[in-house]
């Protein structure tokens, strides 16, 4: 029994909580990003800093990674809505280290579409790419694959 409890404790301690932006363009493609020296793309976002709400952290991360303020950059008044939560083995981390990704979308759709032409890679990001469900799964994180499959299943991307 002791070993089982230890591994459960380890799993609880090895949990990365992140926020991510799901942005879908006019061509029904999802935005993904790739950091320098990384082989895979991820859903843009990151971790909360102490005292930040989910939305504050997401806004800050999108300014840092995508060079855009989700709420003030668009002509159409925008809000941020929770889309869903995805959990999987964390990319590049030791076995059992899980990542929980709370994903958000910008609404209304008009505001989301305006962002399509505004996002650009910051110094933190080597490459941004718009992808559909035919994208090579080997080039995505596990949560990235789960999100892509969910978007396809819901008819949001091609």
Cα separation, 97 vs 73, in Å, equals 36
Binning pLDDT at 50, 70 and 90, where does residue 43 land?
Answer: very high
Q: d(Cα 28, Cα 77) in Å, to the nearest integer?
A: 21
Q: Is residue 56's pLDDT more than 60?
A: yes
Q: Report the chain's C-alpha Rg in angstroms.
A: 16
Could you tell me which residues come within 8 angstroms of residue 51 by beta carbon, excluding any fewer than 6 positions away?
Answer: none
Listed by start position, the domains of the chain span 15-152
- pLDDT given for residue 95 in this prediction: 86
Tens-place pLDDT, residues 10-29: 445 578 899 999 999 999 99
User: How high is the mean pLDDT of the chain?
Assistant: 90
Determine what percent of the chain is predicted with pLDDT higher than 70: 92
For domain 15-152, the CATH superfamily is Nucleoside Triphosphate Pyrophosphohydrolase (3.90.79.10)
Report the predicted TM-score, pTM, of the whole model to 2 decimal places.
0.88
Residue 2 has pLDDT above 70, yes or no: no
* pLDDT of amino acid 93: 85
């Amino acid at each position: 029994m002791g070993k089982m409890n230890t591994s459960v404790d380890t799993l609880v301690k090895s949990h990365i909580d992140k926020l991510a932006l799901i942005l879908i363009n006019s061509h029904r493609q999802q935005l993904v990003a790739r950091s320098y020296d990384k082989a895979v793309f991820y859903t843009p976002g990151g971790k909360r800093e102490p005292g930040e709400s989910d939305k504050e952290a997401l806004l800050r991360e999108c300014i840092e990674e995508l060079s855009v303020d989700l709420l003030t950059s668009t002509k159409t008044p925008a809000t941020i809505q929770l889309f869903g939560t995805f959990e999987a083995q964390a990319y590049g981390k030791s076995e059992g280290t899980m990542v929980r990704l709370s994903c958000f979308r910008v609404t209304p759709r008009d505001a989301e579409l305006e962002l399509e032409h505004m996002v650009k890679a910051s110094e933190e990001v080597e490459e941004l790419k718009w992808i559909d469900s035919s994208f090579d799964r080997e080039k995505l994180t596990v949560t990235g694959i789960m999100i892509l499959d969910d978007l396809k299943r819901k008819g949001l991307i091609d």
